[in-house]
A and B are shown apart, each in its own frame.
Chain A
Amino acid sequence: MQKLDDVEDVKKLNEIKYDFITDLKPVYQTKKGLSRDVIEEMSREKKEPDWMKKIRLKAYEIFLSKPVPTWGPDLSELNFDDLTYYTRQEDRKANNWEDVPKEIKDTFDRLGVPEMEKKYLAGSVAQLQSEGVYSRLRKQWEDKGVIFMDMDSAVQKHPDIVREHFGKIVPPSDNKFAALNTAVWSGGSFLYVPSGVQLDLPVQAYFRMNSALEGQFERTLIIAEPDASVHYIEGCLPAEELVSKGDSLVPISSVGVSDNVVTHSGENSRVTRTFERPYDGTMMTFVPLSKGNSFKLTVEHPVLAIKRSSVSTERKPRNGWKSEVSTQKLITAKPDYVRAEQLEEGDFIVYVAPTESKDNEGMTPELLRVLGLYAAEGSVSYNKAIKTTVLAFSFGKSKKEKDLATELYDLLKSLGEQANLIKTAGGYYTVSSYSKKLIELCETHVGKGAAEKKLSKVLMELPPEKQRILLDNYLRGDGNVYVKRPFKSVMVRASTASKMLAFQLQEIIARNGTFANLSIRKGGDDTIVGRKIRRKDQFIVQYTEDKRHSQVRKAGNNFYVPIRKIIKEKFKDKVYNLEVSKQNSYLVKGFAVHNCTAPTYSQYSLHAAIVEVYVKKAAKVRYTSVQNWSDNIINGPTKRSWVEERGRMEWVQGSLGSKITMTYPSSILRGEYASTSNLNVALGVGPVWKDNGAKVVHAAPNTTSKIVAKSISGKGGMAVYRGQLRINPGAYNSKASVQCDALILDDMSKSNTYPHNEILEESASFSHEASVGKISEEQVDYLMSRGIREEDARSLIVLGFLDDVLKEIPLEYSIEFNKLVRLEMSKYGAVG
């Protein structure tokens, strides 16, 4: 056991946290991992009665004996010894929001809890980490004997009721997670509704897990005595949580999961998640020596950099700017991540030349020469007079230009393509061709329209020496090369109207060992040969082959580029970030920045709750749970109810977040005319696995059950329906229906259904419907033809698909669903 009042330890603990929690100090925490000692310690700390301690220890033995389930998602990444099993936030529990410590109250304020309690609820319980921090029930219900409090308090205050009901519906022997929960449970809520009492407002429990690497094992026990009725809502976190764990900048908004990006090492790595969040604060613009590469970052974003102060020398500044640096020190220095706000003008940031290449045999030197010239001088247009598409290269009047045109003309002919060489009325030389093959080649690999030109993936992946051919030919067209005195260094300068092409040329030049400066000449009105024209922005790529006097230094495939200027401004809009596998970094305008999450991100927290619900004779319980756990959480609760004669149990589940979810709320219909329904929605978008379903056992005559499960999978997500339905012999005239519908958003994603039905009673009736669908392009087209944007059209279709379940979910949560679906669909940009 450790008391954690040491400031440093607390800081360490808080390093792994979500952005809106600040300085929550646990007053007590067990050490990592699980043992008999930890459990005894925990029970002692909670001042529990002996019987509870015995239940825990027995469950621990069962936990050790049970294997990790292997039938569902892969749980091998879960390490039980890495988890902290018990963290207490506060010494006493409040029953008035005013008494809740400010930091904790702020957390729940942001979730809107006190507000909702005032408006819609009969009572609420709030839990942070392992224990309840607040509970309250309106007096009118308290007077009628309703009990609603956190589970730990219930053990102290109502030991008899708890002891009678605890662990009966879900015994620790049920499964490994159930055993674990019983051994280390903490928090959760206890709800007791006496006979005949019907709560007309729902009661709600809120759970929030703060730190990574923590287990949350709450225990919920609901007892509805005969003729009682209650709606219990379990809620976890709004959508903000999913997308707020990072920071970054606007241009990355279009990057999607499983796109490849280049990392700080120059290698490719896969994007495993994208993030978007509103940002209201200071935005920093970094203007490196190469002005065209300016980029924006939020103040806390880590940037790969070398501080000038760590590599400077005693020498006097030569150009009156910053202190001189030692080249030796600089090229041997190891760049490190520095928060954007800690960077100063003169510090070096790291431009990375991508290292991976993939040769393409079909891209011969001849074709690269053509493409290089096309990038500089080429265009494709439709000639109305001859009703043909024409590829044309426009050259100037000079002898040099004429030679180049002739060379190209000969080259095209030697490739076996049709070609024309024309001297136009004004004396300019033009080479043209009607060859469909050439036109397609140029359009595919370089694009068309001066401002839109862009080199294809194939070209950008070629080995540097082949790219050099393309570059050299491009420069023959659009560049000018001159020798600078007195050092006779060769300076090369090219300009293009395409911003993308400029960045690509810079990258190719870097891969060939030189850092090129990128600058922009703003467009505007201009005059050419007496004619007024409007000039587009020109992007200028410029480099000096002999780079002795440049302020940029090269180290391997990195170029250390000084920051010329830093501009800070107020910013209020969305910002974006990526999570990149393995390397945890990506490039912004060629410069390396850290990705969004701490390196510990790949470690998971476990949420394994147990919920036991007693629905006694003619009682009614609705249990709604909407979880939006962050995506480092493995969520595996066991939820089960016993439903007696004429009782009714309704499960409504919405599963938005978490890495892995395995939830199958069960109803055991034990009395005649008992009934249950189970509505289930799961959103599995991104690298997540949603394993949801239901279990119903008809153990008495005339019982009824209805299961409706809807799932959506996208961006590589997996959505599974796993159901078990059993109608026992003797459960005469029982009725059961199962409907499971899946919507799959793209080809990367999957959906499976595993319905297990055992109908052992002949007089029972059973129906099963299942559908798997995709969004039809006709639907999207139709909605777009009414002025609705594509992403909104897709959202509407998805929300429509979910509608019959969403309308059963409390409004504030269905709004949350709505927002999240829209957010996910907004990442599906182009036609899917």
Chain B
Amino acid sequence: MIPNVLSIKDLSVSVGEKEILKSVTITVKSGEIHALMGPNGTGKSTLAHTVVGSIRYKVNSGDLFLNDVNLRDLQVYERARAGLFVAFQEPVTVQGLRFLNYLRTAYSSLHPDEKLEYKKFVEEVKELLAFFGLDSSFADRGLNEGLSGGEKKRMEALQMLILRPKFIILDEIDSGLDVDALRVVSKAIARAKENGAGIIIITHYQRILDYIKPDFVHVLINGRIAESGNGDLAKLIEERGYEYYKGGEIDAKIG
């Protein structure tokens, strides 16, 4: 089977007048896990929002392809239908929009050719809620209504599994998670990888990478990829800190 490829190429993005991302290139194939690391305010979330297609992020140049589909031509919902999923750092709350109802609508939108068996679907959601250590009543609650930060993150991870996307970007999924939650979310990421998804884990810390080993690591400094390498790079970063990249930018190395 030909693997799916998400290709972010020479991407430059600005928000308002300010250029945040400068010529960023990352290529992700099915089954790969990439970690995008970097200090705060360096443009990691901007990458997630740009790939989603949020209109506040203006692409100045560069390409964004999912296989041969140019995502730049697509609206937000069409990108999702092309197979893209982003777990957000700060998921929104929608009062009164019951989670199950929302999730079913999303699923049918993403998989229009499948006949959704509602009963089975509900069972699957309940099973996953249990897997993530979440109360089964969350299924009938308004979307993220009254949930803690950590619970919201787990709900994002749950959606990632049930919606079966081709590519997943996890924007600081690890922030606000305790050790147990971190472990279960990591398991979920491993499961998504087994299902053939290509994954970008955006993180500030090395912590989550103790649970899930990335195939590639990219360091984002001031909107540029300062270094790319294999999984071991994460350890190196942990040792020398982002301080190391200050001053000069290092040419990207292929790991």
Contacts and interface: CB of A to CB of B under 8 A. Distances in A.
Given A785-B86, A788-B106, A789-B109, A800 B80 contact: no
List the 3 closest A-B pairs by CB distance, nearest first. A803-B96, A800-B97, A800-B96
Given A796-B97, A796-B102, A800-B142, A787 B92 contact: no
A805 to B, nearest CB: 10
B241 interface: no
B159 interface: yes
Nearest to B102: A796
A800 B54 contact: no
A382 B63 CA distance: 14
Given A782-B88, A782-B92, A785-B52, 9 more contacts: A783-B106, A784-B76, A785-B80, A786-B80, A787-B77, A787-B106, A796-B102, A801-B95, A803-B97
A779 interface: yes
Contacts of B66: none
B102 A783 contact: yes
A170 B76 CA distance: 55
Interface string B210-230: 000000000000000000000
A114 B228 CA distance: 71
A781 B54 contact: yes
A786 B110 contact: yes
B72 interface: no
B77 A796 contact: no
A789 B54 CA distance: 14
B165 to A, nearest CB: 9
B80 A787 contact: yes
Contacts of B61: 382
Contacts of B55: 831
Interface of B: 52-55, 61, 75-77, 79-81, 85-86, 88, 91-92, 94-98, 101-102, 105-106, 109-110, 142-143, 159, 163
A788 B85 CA distance: 12
B94 A800 contact: yes
B98 A783 contact: no
Contacts of A790: 75, 77
Given A781-B54, A803-B142, A788 B77 contact: yes
A784 B75 contact: yes
B23 to A, nearest CB: 12
B61 to A, nearest CB: 8
A778 interface: yes
Contacts of A786: 77, 80, 85, 102, 106, 109-110, 159, 163
Interface in A207-241: none
A787 B94 CA distance: 16
B96 A783 contact: no
A787 B79 CA distance: 7
Central interface residue in A779, A800, A803, by most chain B CB within 10 Å: A800
A407 interface: no
* Residue among A382, A784, A803, A804 with the highest chain B CB neighbour number at 10 A: A784
Contacts of A784: 75-77, 80
Interface string A458-497: 0000000000000000000000000000000000000000
A823 interface: no
Contacts of A804: 96
B72 to A, nearest CB: 13
A686 B60 CA distance: 39
Contact of A801 (B92, B96, B109, B159): B96
Nearest to A795: B105
Contacts of A788: 77, 105-106, 109
A106 interface: no
B109 A799 contact: no
A785 B159 CA distance: 12
7 contacts: A781-B52, A782-B92, A785-B80, A786-B110, A787-B80, A787-B106, A803-B95
Interface string A790-820: 1011001101111110000000000000000
A602 interface: no
A371 to B, nearest CB: 26
Given A778-B92, A797-B94, A801-B96, A785 B76 contact: yes
Nearest to B82: A787
A790 B54 CA distance: 13
A406 to B, nearest CB: 34
Contacts of B91: 782
Contacts of A792: 105, 109
A831 B55 CA distance: 10
A776 interface: yes
A804 B75 CA distance: 32
A710 B143 CA distance: 19
B75 A796 contact: no
Interface string A381-399: 0100000000000000000
Nearest to A779: B92
A62 B79 CA distance: 66
A533 B77 CA distance: 33
A776 B95 CA distance: 12
Nearest to B143: A800
B85 to A, nearest CB: 8
A779 B94 CA distance: 7
A801 B98 CA distance: 11
Contacts of B106: 783, 786-788
Contacts of B109: 786-789, 792
A820 to B, nearest CB: 17
Contacts of B163: 786-787
Contacts of A796: 94, 97, 101-102, 105
Contacts of B101: 796
A757 to B, nearest CB: 25
B110 A783 contact: no
Contacts of A787: 77, 80-81, 106, 109-110, 163
A389 to B, nearest CB: 11
Given A779-B92, A787-B80, A789-B109, A797 B86 contact: no
Nearest to A803: B96
Nearest to B112: A787
A112 B155 CA distance: 41
Contacts of B52: 781, 785
A558 B28 CA distance: 62
A831 B75 CA distance: 11
A797 B80 contact: no
A796 B106 CA distance: 11
A784 B55 CA distance: 12
Contact of B97 (A778, A781, A799): A799
| B81, B94, B109, most chain A CB atoms within 10 A | B94
B157 to A, nearest CB: 14
A412 B77 CA distance: 42
Contacts of B94: 779, 782-783, 796-797, 800
